[in-house]
Amino acid sequence: MIKVDYSQYTQAELHEALQQITPDSEHYSALLAEINARQEEAELHEQQRVENGPQNAERRVKVIGYIQLLAAFVMTVGLIFGPLTSWLSFISVPFILLSAAAGYTAIKEQAKWYWLSILNQGLQVVSFSFGVLNYKYTGLGGIQIGFTWLKDFELSFGILFSSTVRLTGNAGAFSLNAVQIDVLALVLMIALLTRRERQQ
């Protein structure tokens, strides 16, 4: 009797062999055993994937939490040791507190407070400059795409590695209008929203 090694067969080849073999064949039981073993293996793999899904999501939320805590720290250092141009420098204090609270609750997996992280990331998604009105908030940086215009529209792209809170205008702002979307903040916000929806 020639022994057939069904373990070398692909799933498609196994099912094709099953259609061509008869139950009284000497290879029939070996073929069924291999199909059943593969099915159990696939079910076990799927079960592990389902079980690991929430753990991976929790890890992502924790990473976002650490990023927010680090951003709060960097902004605090900037506020303490940076140039104090005016009382407007203190406008970053609410953002520091928000980033710290959002980071802490995300790390501690306090799901009912995930909205703080969502809000914190949401405030970073859009930045703009219209005349003297100027708004920009970045935690540790971002990947920004947008457009600027005065007479002509120009597309812009930038990668930032800085913490910025700006809620006012300056003399230079009169010459430039701009709208930018922070892709990184948008991705992090969507990840948080997805995790929150799954928990609810």
pLDDT single digits (tens) 153-177:
888 888 888 888 877 655 544 457 8
| DSSP, res 173 | G
Q: How many CB atoms lie within 10 A of CB 111?
A: 16
Q: Which one-letter amino acid corresponds to residue 7?
A: S
Q: Which tens digits make up the pLDDT trace of 15-47?
A: 888 888 888 888 888 888 888 888 877 777 677
Where does the pLDDT of residue 119 fall: very low under 50, low under 70, confident under 90, or very high at 90 and above?
very high
DSSP symbols for 98-136: HHHHHHHHHHTT-GGGHHHHHHHHHHHHEEEEETTEEEE
How long is the chain? 200
pTM here is 0.66
Contacts of 144 (CB under 8 A, 6+ apart): 127, 156, 157, 158, 159, 160, 180, 181, 182, 183
